[in-house]
Structure 1
């Protein structure tokens, strides 16, 4: 059994879990999908995902349950049974342990939540290049945490480029001092961001990618030379956050998150992409917190 065969087997188990998440899943089912014995199937699943099969299933069910409680008017007991928990009490204990809040309070207050979004083992395998010379720990998928944030109407101070579509092209066009200027804006609501502007926020002859910082609607200070200020409408942002990484590996961290976002289906969690509602953004890559990006969404319900 070589590494590629194990990766394909784990991929089939992940597909089996996703297909039968609301049904009873046994280790024998997963073993049959993998084509290995139950013992070996469980072993390679843990090696390549970092979780046992049933920890993986339980965590994924809790994340899907949280989405339903957040977006639908539904009883806790109905969600519990829908995701195969035996009782209201058992579901409440598991949910509270995982999210730090009871499902009832979660449904009422809808706090920001990090959902478990497992990456397909096979996708990462091919992205890293056939596995030659790689260690097993290199193949463990980076768990991506996702949360949905409501952004109120606000202003954006930005400096546009000409043709830039990414950070490097932007720096070549306008220089690297833009970030320092944005960092010095004292009334900023958040840290500076790199952004991909939707067409409705671009001006003719200006770039898709730019850098900027959000400020309150009441902001009335003079703007730095060459900068402008626009108003952004209220919207919902889906924030993706990868695992912490060594700073020298920031390009790989970005690639990993982009790959996960490319295959991510927000409809599973009750949303759809809404790129016209605002800029997609990236925060400065800092290894200690993981790479962070946001993209506008709208609720389906």
Structure 2
């Protein structure tokens, strides 16, 4: 069997789970989506995703249920039934085992928790080698890149540091890929989680340039998880680049195209200059429907008299 046949089969099972997460899902249904026998479908699913299909489904349901409890005024029993748990008690036991606190306590206190945010198995096999800069396969730049300058207020950032990582993939190798789930769970976040390349003065000895974090208001004063840092950033201007929408499996090319555009961009033409020492450069999670987005700090050039 060709490796890509297996990857596509597991991806079809993932897609089926995403589409039917609030319904009963059987192994027979997953096998039909995969195009293989139930036994073989379960085997290749665990081989590539390191969880059995039903461990995966349960973790995903619990994480989606946690977001409902975080953001909506829903009763625990209603959330349990919405996510196909047979009873309030069964949901409470599973939730407590997964996150270390009961759903009722979580809905009252909403501390950061480690949500399960699975990666698309198809995309994971399209990554580029460690340390290699992604490049567009074609030699032409993205046809359209939207650029705007945005104000970032004074803010705090809860972040997770690596050791020597300078980009996403080595960061995941050093600290694991679960960080994004914790950051996504933070109710007080000003914006969505980001990957950041820190300026030198924000990098303590023995820690990485690339980190992942979430921005918070200056009045945030809640405890943060062990192993995370809370830092403050001054107001700054960010020049934000947004590429064209792309097919999800082509995220490598989309990142490479935007990086090539940024490498050749001349902010001086618009009255700005790069200010990489003043604030972190950041990237948003690449999502095909909106295009790849990255921001780089700038300062306005004072006009000469």
TM-score (norm 1): 0.54
C-alpha deviation, 1:231, in angstroms: 0.2
Give the gaps of 5 or more residues in structure 2.
1-134
User: How many residues end up aligned between the 2 structures?
Assistant: 168
Aligned residue in 1 for 2:161: 160
Residues of 2 paired with 1:176 and 1:151: CA distance? 27
C-alpha deviation, 1:225, in angstroms: 1.3
Give the gaps of 5 or more residues in structure 1.
1-125, 131-138
Spell out, residue by residue over 1:40-89, the C-alpha distance to the aligned partner (whole angstroms, 9 max, x if none). xxxxxxxxxxxxxxxxxxxxxxxxxxxxxxxxxxxxxxxxxxxxxxxxxx
Matched, 1:150 2:159: no
Matched, 1:267 2:268: yes
Aligned residue in 1 for 2:246: 245
Aligned residue in 2 for 1:133: none
Residues of 1 paired with 2:142 and 2:236: CA distance? 30
State whether residues 136 and 252 of structure 2, in contact with CA within 8 Å, keep that contact through their aligned partners in structure 1: no
Aligned residue in 2 for 1:258: 259
C-alpha deviation, 1:293, in angstroms: 0.1
Q: Following TM superposition, where does structure 1 have runs of at least 4 consecutive aligned residues deviating by more than 4 angstroms?
A: none
C-alpha deviation, 1:142, in angstroms: 2.2
Aligned pairs for 1:145-294 (under 5 A) are 145-294=146-295
Residues of 2 paired with 1:268 and 1:185: CA distance? 39
Aligned residue in 2 for 1:43: none
State whether residues 142 and 258 of structure 2, in contact with CA within 8 Å, keep that contact through their aligned partners in structure 1: no
State whether residues 190 and 216 of structure 2, in contact with CA within 8 Å, keep that contact through their aligned partners in structure 1: yes
State whether residues 272 and 299 of structure 2, in contact with CA within 8 Å, keep that contact through their aligned partners in structure 1: yes
Aligned residue in 2 for 1:67: none
C-alpha deviation, 1:128, in angstroms: 3.2
CA pair 247-270 structure 1, distance change in 2 beyond 3 A: same
Aligned residue in 1 for 2:33: none
C-alpha deviation, 1:277, in angstroms: 1.1
3-state DSSP of counterpart to 2:277: helix
Residues of 2 paired with 1:288 and 1:241: CA distance? 11
C-alpha deviation, 1:141, in angstroms: 3.9
3-state DSSP of counterpart to 1:143: coil
C-alpha deviation, 1:226, in angstroms: 0.6
Q: CA RMSD for the aligned pairs? A: 1.4
3-state DSSP of counterpart to 2:172: helix
TM-score (norm 2): 0.54
C-alpha deviation, 1:129, in angstroms: 5.4
Aligned pairs for 1:99-114 (under 5 A) are none
Residues of 2 paired with 1:255 and 1:152: CA distance? 29
C-alpha deviation, 1:168, in angstroms: 0.2
3-state DSSP of counterpart to 1:277: coil
